[in-house]
Amino acid sequence: MAALCLEAQDTVGADVPLLLWGVWAAARGHILTEADMNAAQALADRWRGPVIAPLRHARRALKDLPGGEALRQDVKAAELEAERLYMTALEGLAAGWPSPVGPRPPCPTALRDNLARLLPPDAGPVTERLHKALS
């Protein structure tokens, strides 16, 4: 699963914490709405570009620098902590989700819909591999 998430990140620009949030929502039977996506995008704008992306860039740049491994590990820890805080903020969005009335959508349906919302249309093969791995 981790390898598929990283593949989605590196090949189609997927936001892994956002992707995991969508999978978690599907496990709860929740199909992401436009309002969910707008709220998640607002959080992504606060975390991904200004915080997580620069840390990831620095971590990757340090990989090839002699003597940079200790600093790389510190930056990696900071990147993981930033992603954890971002995911905690995403989890908070579920507090506004309505309780389902009537039957909930089956998880595979919610998963397919949520992945389609969270990955670009040209990510079909990655989306399908993620769906298979999670079903």
State the pLDDT confidence band at 6, using cuts at 50, 70 and 90: confident
What pTM does this model have?
0.87
State the pLDDT confidence band at 106, using cuts at 50, 70 and 90: low
| C-beta separation of 62 from 72 below 8 A | yes
Please give the helix or strand (H or E) that residue 36 lies within, else none.
Answer: helix 34-47
Residue 81, SS3 per DSSP: helix
Alpha helices in 1-135 (DSSP H): 2-12, 16-27, 34-47, 53-63, 69-92, 107-118, 124-134
Q: Which candidate, 46, 8, 19, 17, places its Cα nearest to that of 122?
A: 8
Percent of the chain with pLDDT over 70: 95
pLDDT (mean) for 2-18: 90
| pLDDT score for 105 | 66
> Could you tell me which residue, 34 or 124, shows the higher pLDDT?
34
